[in-house]
């Protein structure tokens, strides 16, 4: 079978979407099967990130051009059996579509987005999920949310296929990682790490305020707070909160970081904190666990399902709970070591090979049903 994948996110710093499609393509390429894959990319450097046994084709960077006609035109030329997209399919597509919808925060919490972006996602994703043959999502939480907001969908249409931490995220020597972090980011002090684009739902402002309380309540703690994540329209508010916190000299922003640098940051930190209000999966928490770091995170959305008892949970709306979780892990070395062991065990339950196998099973199921439907239709026409 020939499967096409919209991989325009690769090489464009689109964070979670880029990690997902890049990891999936790498796992597809490693599968021992006869399927053929085509990846449609926008960034000039994207082909360097894709295995050589996957053919790449350039498509437009502009989303209106890409989704309006360019992607559909390439699909007609290449004639794949199926197209896999994230969130949004092209306006016209001559083959069955499987769509990955990682979460529906744009419907359940539009305040996390600019008005135009929320409206665009609400319109385009609704159109896509209605016409898609199958919808993939990473957690039972997201599956329930998708079925709730798109009440007309059949339950069987939405399939949970969990994500995973990439194999590159693993424990490495702490001293070596710390040396790289000192050189690349000028971080000399021990630190607590949080990863995520600077946007409202990631709750960096709440974390900054909680960290300021932590420093005041426990002056013996020497850790700084390091925030790694791409700047967005909301970034100015996060930076302002840091400046106004009273501990600005102990808060550092790294901006967007590569996976190679992220590996070093995870391994060098004392613990990882993820205070997000809403996650369809919560991959950074799993990546930190895979690197052997203790994790504390929100008890909301998909995070409890993903960490499954291997992290200290808190209410992201309650600053005192965030403070308590951080203090417990920083002050209790035995607890921290226990959570590190549990996190490594939990991360090992997930792999991109499993994700790829389950995704391909959905692809083949869609094609079998499509062909069966076409055969019935052909026989019906023949008997008229």
HEC sequence for 166-183: CCCCCCCCHHHHHHHHHH
17-33 pLDDT, tens digit each: 999 999 999 999 998 67
> Looking at residue 306, what is its pLDDT?
98
Q: Helices in 218-269 by DSSP H: which ranges?
A: 235-243, 259-268
CA–CA separation, 141 and 281 (whole Å): 8
Structural domains in the chain plus CATH codes? 2-164+351-382 (3.40.50.2000), 174-347 (3.40.50.2000)
Dihedrals phi, psi of 309, to nearest 5 degrees? 85, 0
Band of pLDDT at residue 301, cut at 50, 70 and 90 = very high
Which three-class secondary structure state does DSSP give residue 206?
Answer: helix
Whole-model pTM: value is 0.93
Q: Helices in the chain by DSSP H: which ranges?
A: 15-30, 63-65, 71-78, 105-108, 115-131, 140-149, 174-185, 204-217, 235-243, 259-268, 283-290, 303-307, 319-331, 333-347, 352-382
User: Tokens 């389950």 correspond to what residue?
Assistant: 358
Cα angle: 342, vertex 347, 350; to 5 degrees: 145
Q: Are 164 and 351 in contact (CB under 8 A)?
A: yes
Average pLDDT over residues 352-359: 96
Average pLDDT over residues 355-379: 80
Strand partners, 21: none
Whether residue 381 is predicted with pLDDT greater than 70 in this model: the reply is no
Strand partners, 193: 226, 272
Instruction: For residue 330, give the nearest of 222, 217, 248, 249 by alpha carbon.
Output: 222
CA–CA separation, 152 and 376 (whole Å): 25
44-68 pLDDT, tens digit each: 888 888 999 999 999 999 999 999 9
């Amino acid at each position: 079978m020939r499967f096409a994948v919209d991989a325009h996110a690769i090489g464009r710093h689109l964070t979670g979407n880029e990690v997902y499609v890049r990891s999936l393509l790498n796992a597809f390429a490693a599968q021992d099967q006869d399927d053929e894959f085509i990846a449609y990319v926008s960034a000039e450097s994207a082909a360097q990130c894709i295995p050589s046994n996957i053919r790449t084709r350039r498509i437009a960077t502009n989303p209106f051009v890409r989704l309006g006609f360019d992607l559909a035109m390439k699909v007609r030329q290449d004639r794949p059996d199926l197209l896999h997209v994230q969130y949004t399919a092209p306006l016209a597509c001559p083959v069955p579509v499987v769509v990955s919808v990682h979460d529906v925060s744009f419907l359940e919490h539009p305040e996390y987005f600019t008005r135009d972006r929320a409206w665009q996602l609400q319109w385009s994703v609704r159109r896509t999920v209605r016409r898609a043959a199958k919808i993939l999502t990473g957690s039972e939480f997201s599956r329930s949310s998708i079925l709730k907001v798109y009440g007309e969908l059949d339950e069987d249409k939405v399939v949970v296929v969990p994500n995973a931490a990439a194999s590159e995220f693993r424990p490495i020597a702490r001293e070596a990682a710390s040396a790289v972090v000192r050189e690349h980011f000028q971080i000399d002090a021990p630190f607590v790490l949080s990863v995520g684009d600077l946007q409202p739902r990631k709750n960096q402002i709440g974390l900054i305020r909680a960290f300021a309380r932590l420093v005041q309540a426990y002056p013996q703690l020497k850790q700084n707070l390091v925030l790694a994540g791409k700047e967005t329209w909301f970034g100015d508010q996060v930076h302002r909160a840091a400046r106004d916190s009273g501990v600005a000299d102990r808060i550092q922003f790294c901006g967007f970081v590569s996976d190679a640098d992220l590996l070093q940051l995870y391994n060098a930190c004392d613990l990882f904190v993820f205070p997000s209000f809403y996650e369809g999966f919560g991959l950074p928490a799993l990546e930190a666990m895979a690197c052997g770091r203790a994790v504390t995170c929100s008890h909301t959305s998909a995070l409890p399902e993903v960490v499954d008892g291997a992290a200290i949970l808190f209410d992201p709306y309650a600053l005192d709970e965030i403070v308590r979780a951080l203090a417990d892990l920083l002050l209790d070395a035995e607890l921290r070591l226990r959570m590190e062991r549990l996190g490594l065990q939990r991360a090992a339950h997930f792999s991109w090979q499993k994700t790829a196998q389950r995704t391909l099973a959905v692809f083949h199921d869609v094609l079998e049903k499509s062909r069966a439907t076409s055969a019935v239709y052909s026989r019906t026409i023949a008997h008229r």
